[in-house]
Structure 1
């Protein structure tokens, strides 16, 4: 308040001095009017600007940062916390390779344009609630927290980032991912959590309704012992194709083996690109690691087709059908129970003979009837760990009349009939084609050739073979047309002109060699093929 009074008295004294002074000339008068003393309003605005906590647009050189347009790089600057004077115009902020131990509440306050934030290779152990509050929020698309010391991924970490698309958390110390940790990321497309210590993952929290755009989830190089097959099989097909699970501690089970074999048949990149790295542990022993894609003999007794069955199957009347209870529960303490469509409870060994149940949980329909159609429920119960899982299969029974209608005309018979008809048409074309030519007069006896004259006429075209690679000499030549009564035609190689020279086309190289043409070197010009560059490829992160 004293500063305000002092400014006011100084302005008043200046105004009185100006009134007592003689009137200046024209030019000087204009300058005096332009330099009018500040009013009360300007003083208040000046004080507000000095006391305001809003970030400036000046690059903080004291923090060891470099600024270029909207990119701020503070890498390897020995920072222990997020600098408070980052320009508000920053779109990309790189704080990697520092010593930041935790993200405080409001650490990115005022950065309303931030889209990319890199915090890799720090000492992060925790993220305080509200760390990303009052930041860009919906604009932040890429967040790199890799190579840190995070142990638990809490559900309040990313609540202020609904627009995040790429999350990098690989090479941390994660042992747990809470159920709602990714719930606040509806726009998430790619999540990298490889090279951690995870023994479980909440697959139920990343279904299609909550994460419709998620297409890549990298959980490789962790410690997952088992997979919740019901939750994994319920994931969208696009996410199953981008679910990387290699280099884990999976126990060798028929259900696990059937899942990966099913992904292999569908050509999922998560399996085809990392066949060598898919291992499982026999009896859960670390020394019994087996590459199950190469050594399938350990799963010879597994009914893989049954384990890969869809939730809807069809069977003909009178034939047998085996239904498997797909579950991640295993051990001697697991019991199974089936519920038939007529609400009949089926337990081993089965009922009166129409349904047979085995100790491993499989249910067999001995001879399918029309009344056996419906939904079958399987309940797997582990009393020791107090866990249970359910599996349902919808069975459709096809009557005999539908089967006979489709069986009378199958694909093999159609193929054979088509071949026979084609052969008959070719023979008719070759030997039964009508000819409306006038009768040909008998040829006179061959005369003795006169020395010095060539036999240009030669033999008639009727005596030449129809399989001759070149037409008869009497039908081609200067001013003559090629005869139209040939049955087999040999095309000449297509030649293209390049730089004034003829060369054989690439698509006709083999045909040109057949006709005796010399092969020409194929020139490949730079720029004929396009190269695709991707900053974030749809593959897992590979660490040395």
Structure 2
């Protein structure tokens, strides 16, 4: 009975605290783990008291018209705020005070008009900002400049006529900026070109009211040439107005006749190739230009102009723009630049090929192996000769009857041996044969030997040798002219 009361007490306390929390929240709010959901309840303000440990607040589909100063303060774990489909027209200063840990903020489908610079200053850790489907006509220049951790910003389906691209030039983490379906007639091409390439790859500008002009067309053709997703996935949605007339809207990436007189300056696309010395290498001049009126020319890594038929019997150029290096050498490595030009349409494209010429790997490997083997043999021979003729001997080893006990002479013959791996028999113990001054690599105590081969007893005394063959077939006599006694 006491045990049951001890278990029930914490449950009752937890239920009491949950009811206490619910008592301060509007009816219909749901709490699940660290998520508080108060969606579609007709709320016109955010509840004053919120659960301290909440990480996600969901107030979508309500009637919120304003947010008070510090509406979300005092929530240390707060990570996500969802305020979509409300009636917010502006944000008061200090709305997001003490909320530096927020990573996701959804303000889509509201009535925001101007994104003022103080709106998101406190959100230094924000990574994803949703502002699409509002009535935004302007984004102030410093509104996003301090959000250095921002990765994704969605401002599509608004009324923007321009955007401060220069204010996000330091945003190295920004990978998606959606400005599609707005009302921008012109683009600051130079400011956009100054953005990080990762930002340009994720910059969506389709379905705007762009006026057809050469710099804008050149920028998008360059993005198409480089395979940017923002152009590839929305190719048909890129339109522009001929002479600013709304009734004359064309898909300029598909119908290019209006831009025939534009001179395109596309950034070169680099290709890499490798070749061996002496081999022939062909470099293709890849281009999207079509027609019979194309001319090609190349610039070598040494700044040499190359045109058909080629130069100095080392480079050959064909009519289709292909450049052939007849017998590649190491000094031919570098970046080769090809230019394709259509004179009638005043269009040109460039293509780069980075060539690396190296020695044949097999030849280099064979040379290195042979040289290493020869050097090893020479060093071994020198060491042998040095030992045979320069090593001092204190005992003038002579063949003489050996005494019953070890003598310094016998010790000398053992200590000076290094050439043959065959261990000699010693005079220690009965049945041992006399060593004939054979040179051995090391001197190990041997219990019994037969014909110069150690038996399994050696493995028993030295466990590490047990993995070798027990009869020691691999041990042979080297540099020895002494007959093995059976």
| TM-score tier (shorter) | 0.5 to 0.7
Alignment of 1:16-31 (within 5 A): none
Q: Distance in 1 between matches of 2:146 and 2:131?
A: 16
In structure 1, stretches of 5+ residues that fail to align are 1-55, 311-395, 418-544
Residue in 2 that maps onto 1:283: 243
Work out which of the residue numbers 226, 234, 245 in structure 1 matches 2:194: 234
Alignment of 1:320-469 (within 5 A): 398=303, 408=315, 412-414=323-325
Q: CA deviation at 1:244?
A: 0.3
Aligned-residue RMSD, C-alpha: 2.6
Residue in 1 that maps onto 2:164: 202
SS of the residue corresponding to residue 191 of structure 1 reads strand
Q: Distance in 1 between matches of 2:267 and 2:121?
A: 39
Work out which of the residue numbers 181, 193, 211 in structure 2 matches 1:251: 211
Alpha-carbon distance change, 412 to 59 in structure 1, aligned in 2, over 3 angstroms: farther
Residue in 1 that maps onto 2:17: none
What's the CA shift string for 1:325-362, capped at 9, x where partnerless? xxxxxxxxxxxxxxxxxxxxxxxxxxxxxxxxxxxxxx
Residue in 1 that maps onto 2:76: 112
Residue in 1 that maps onto 2:483: none
Alpha-carbon distance change, 125 to 273 in structure 1, aligned in 2, over 3 angstroms: same
Q: Distance in 1 between matches of 2:143 and 2:302?
A: 44
2:136 paired with 1:174: yes
Q: CA deviation at 1:398?
A: 3.7
Alpha-carbon distance change, 416 to 124 in structure 1, aligned in 2, over 3 angstroms: same
Give the aligned length: 271
Give the conservation status (yes or no) of the 8 Å contact 2:35–2:56. Answer: yes
2:9 paired with 1:102: no
In structure 2, stretches of 5+ residues that fail to align are 1-19, 269-300, 329-486
Give the conservation status (yes or no) of the 8 Å contact 1:59–1:67. Answer: no
Q: Distance in 2 between matches of 1:406 and 1:300?
A: 38
Q: CA deviation at 1:266?
A: 0.4
What's the CA shift string for 1:344-396, capped at 9, x where partnerless? xxxxxxxxxxxxxxxxxxxxxxxxxxxxxxxxxxxxxxxxxxxxxxxxxxxx9
Q: Distance in 1 between matches of 2:57 and 2:107?
A: 13
Q: Distance in 1 between matches of 2:59 and 2:214?
A: 46
Q: Distance in 2 between matches of 1:283 and 1:400?
A: 40
Work out which of the residue numbers 69, 87, 97 in structure 1 matches 2:51: 87
Residue in 2 that maps onto 1:364: none
Alpha-carbon distance change, 407 to 179 in structure 1, aligned in 2, over 3 angstroms: farther
Q: Distance in 1 between matches of 2:149 and 2:120?
A: 12
2:20 paired with 1:62: no
Q: Distance in 1 between matches of 2:314 and 2:200?
A: 36
Q: Distance in 1 between matches of 2:23 and 2:311?
A: 81
Alpha-carbon distance change, 102 to 407 in structure 1, aligned in 2, over 3 angstroms: farther
2:101 paired with 1:132: no
Residue in 2 that maps onto 1:262: 222
Structure 2 length normalisation: TM-score?
0.53
Give the conservation status (yes or no) of the 8 Å contact 2:314–2:325. Answer: no
Q: CA deviation at 1:183?
A: 1.6
Give the conservation status (yes or no) of the 8 Å contact 2:26–2:47. Answer: no
Q: CA deviation at 1:62?
A: 3.0
What's the CA shift string for 1:74-126, capped at 9, x where partnerless? 00111111111210111000001001111111111211211010000000001
Structure 1 length normalisation: TM-score?
0.47
Q: Distance in 1 between matches of 2:326 and 2:27?
A: 77
Give the conservation status (yes or no) of the 8 Å contact 1:199–1:223. Answer: yes
Q: Distance in 1 between matches of 2:68 and 2:135?
A: 20
Q: Distance in 2 between matches of 1:177 and 1:227?
A: 15
Q: Distance in 1 between matches of 2:243 and 2:175?
A: 32
Residue in 2 that maps onto 1:273: 233
Q: Distance in 2 between matches of 1:404 and 1:59?
A: 89
Q: CA deviation at 1:166?
A: 0.2
Alpha-carbon distance change, 218 to 88 in structure 1, aligned in 2, over 3 angstroms: same
SS of the residue corresponding to residue 93 of structure 1 reads strand
Residue in 2 that maps onto 1:518: none
